[in-house]
Amino acid sequence: MKSKQTRNRFGFPDLGIGVGLRTAHYGHVLEQRPAVDWFEIISENFLGTHGRPGWVLEQAAERYPVVMHGVSLSIGSTDPLDFDYLKQLKELALRVRAPWLSDHLCWTGVAGRNLHDLLPLPYTEECLRHVVRRVRTVQDFLERPIALENPSTYVEFQSSSMSEWEFLARVAEEADCALLLDVNNVYVSSFNHGFDAGQYVDAIPHERVVQYHLAGHTNHGTHIIDSHNGRVIDEVWRLYERSLSLSGGRSTLLEWDEDIPSFEELHTEALRARAWLERARGKARRVHVRN
């Protein structure tokens, strides 16, 4: 029987419930100073720019913990790593005192191109070795562990020799990196590929999970697109609860990036996670005391 983890192995703080820092809410965040636990930024939106977003970020980082979440690390690409990009990531992380940085287990382009999409990887031994090597290099350069997120995918490769969850777990173990478990993406991919989402969640090394993502999606009948709009559906909340029963609770973020509602509506949806988090933490404390 899997034992419940109550702390992540990296000592990253449990920040509570966060939301994304989005342009539409800049004014509200600065003027109203809402009682939100933390913010997540899309790292690329604040690299190499000197305009108002950078100033807003500075103001926000003075009052709230700010975690960095990237989309261009392209950790699985066979193009060389971009060390200019990594240098800027590192500098930004120092400036905002980011508790951790994350990106996706994917690639975004080869031959110098960027398709600006989270492209899927074949789950092969060759790819595993390649990704592990690059994660270690990135972590050495950044001088800290990174968290990799499971992206939603719409294809599977004939050459894959293992499941996505086995691949993810092995990357995390062999590269000694953290995980950002996107529970909505587990659900979306399970629908698209016909696997058991519960089996996926159970197989994750939860001591490496430092953060959760929750989000809405768009169901087209034949497939689901990870559209990051709308509320979190019940099945995803149940997967979240299942994962919490194994991790004991972690920093949780609601992603809502399309058809963005008011800040109040966004935060209210995020706070639905509180009930499950408190239950998981309460159970974790009771287990700890009993042992």
Partner 1 sequence: MSATSLVGLERWFQAEVLRPHVRTKRAPVAAARHLTSSRSLGAAERIAIYQRGYMLRLQECLQSDFPAVRRIAGEPRFEVLVRAYLERHPSRHWSLNPLGQDFARFLEREAPRGPRSGLLAGLAQLEWAMQEVFEAPPAPALAQDALQRIAPADWARRRLVPIAALRLVACEQRCNAIASAVRRDEPLPPLGRKRTWVVVYRKDWTVWRMDLDALQFELLSALCRGRTLAQALAAAARLHRGPQAALQRRIQAACASFVSEGLFQAVR
**CB-nearer residue toward partner 1: 117 or 173:** 117
Distance (Å, whole) CA 242 – CA 181: 12
221 binds partner 1 (CB under 8 A): yes
Alpha-carbon span 98 to 103, nearest angstrom: 14
Instruction: Identify the bridge partners of residue 217 per DSSP, sorted by sequence position.
Output: none
The angle, 0 to 180 degrees and rounded to 10, between the axes of the packed helices 234-247 and 183-193 is 120
Q: Does 11 bind partner 1 (CB under 8 A)?
A: no
What is the 8-class DSSP label of residue 75?
A: T
Q: Which is nearer to partner 1, 55 or 264 (CB)?
A: 55
Residues contacting 30, CB < 8 A, separation 6+: 56, 59, 60
Binds partner 1 (CB under 8 A): choice among 1, 94, 112, 289: 112
Q: Could you say which of 223, 274, 286, 288 contacts partner 1 (CB under 8 A)?
A: 223
Give the nearest distance from C-beta 152 to partner 1 in angstroms.
Answer: 11
- Specify whether the CB–CB gap between 168 and 150 falls below 8 A: yes
Span from 11-19, 33-41, 118-126, 201-209 in contact with partner 1 (CB under 8 A): 118-126
The structure tokens listed for 108 are 């975004």
Residue 126 within binding range of partner 1, rule CB under 8 A: yes
Instruction: Assess 252 for contact with partner 1 (CB under 8 A).
Output: no
**Is residue 124 involved in binding partner 1 (CB under 8 A)?**
yes
Q: Which listed range, 169-177, 215-223, 230-238, 262-270, lies at the site for partner 1 (CB under 8 A)?
A: 215-223
Q: Which residues contact 83 (CB under 8 A, 6 or more apart)?
A: 141
Hey, what are 103's tokens? 């990106």
Query: For binding to partner 1 (CB under 8 A), which residues are involved?
Result: 44-45, 47-52, 55, 72, 74, 77-78, 82, 85, 107-117, 119-120, 122, 124, 126-127, 130, 154-159, 192-194, 221-223, 225
